[in-house]
Amino acid sequence: MQKDSGVDAILSSFIRYSELSAVKYDAEKDIIKIEVALNGCIGDKHRSNFITRYRQSIALLHNMLNIEPAYMDLEFIEKSGITIMRLYRANLSLREEEIELFVLLIRQEFASLLVRDDNDMLAEAALSRDIKDTLLKKIKESRQPYQNIFAYRDEGRVFVFNK
């Protein structure tokens, strides 16, 4: 794992954007999964329009940043009146700008449906750069060849777990 990998970008973004309800890292596949929760079920047309808009916007950003992601997927999962939107991305090519664009598009399209932690304590102060660097170093130097890392926010606090 490189220092400037998607894991570093997603840790910063997870703290910054309360719209992100969960972040998971699969070290074996080197894939990051970003989840956003929405109240209610999203119709097929609304879902299709968002996916098209997202793909066009992200393609333009990738072109501007000269990035070719090895893996990218977006899916919607509907359960019990809640929709979970999942973005899957290859770790090494993921950038903070891409996550920011993803969040901005979600805000524009689903503002009234977002389930988010509005306890906006700007947890960036709590999880400073030194703490993030230490966390990434521990993950990198772990004796286990593959780990699954799970980050979760609750009432302004961020929890990071090994699965």
Place of tokens 């299709």: 48
Task: Judge whether 39 lies within some domain.
Answer: yes
Task: Judge whether 11 lies within some domain.
Answer: yes
pLDDT score for 7: 67
Task: Judge whether 42 lies within some domain.
Answer: yes
Query: Residue 80 is part of which domain span?
Result: 6-162
pLDDT score for 70: 84
Counting every residue written for the chain, the total comes to 163
pLDDT score for 160: 62
Task: Judge whether 154 lies within some domain.
Answer: yes
Task: Judge whether 24 lies within some domain.
Answer: yes
pLDDT score for 25: 81
CB 13 within 8 A of CB 100: yes
Any bridge partners for residue 157, and if so which? 154
pTM over 0.75: no
Q: Which helix (H) or strand (E) holds 43?
A: none
Q: What is d(CA 32, CA 142) in angstroms, rounded to the nearest whole number?
A: 18
CB 33 within 8 A of CB 21: no
pLDDT score for 76: 94
Number of domains in the chain: 1
Task: Judge whether 122 lies within some domain.
Answer: yes
Task: Judge whether 1 lies within some domain.
Answer: no
Q: Phi first, then psi: give them for residue 127, nearest 5 degrees.
A: -110, 80
Per-residue pLDDT of the chain (163 residues; tens, 9 = 90+): 344 466 677 767 777 788 888 888 887 888 888 899 898 889 899 999 999 999 999 999 999 999 888 899 999 999 888 899 999 998 888 888 998 999 999 999 998 898 865 533 333 443 445 555 665 666 666 655 555 666 666 655 556 665 5
pLDDT score for 124: 42
Nearest Cα residue to 157 out of 120, 103, 114: 120
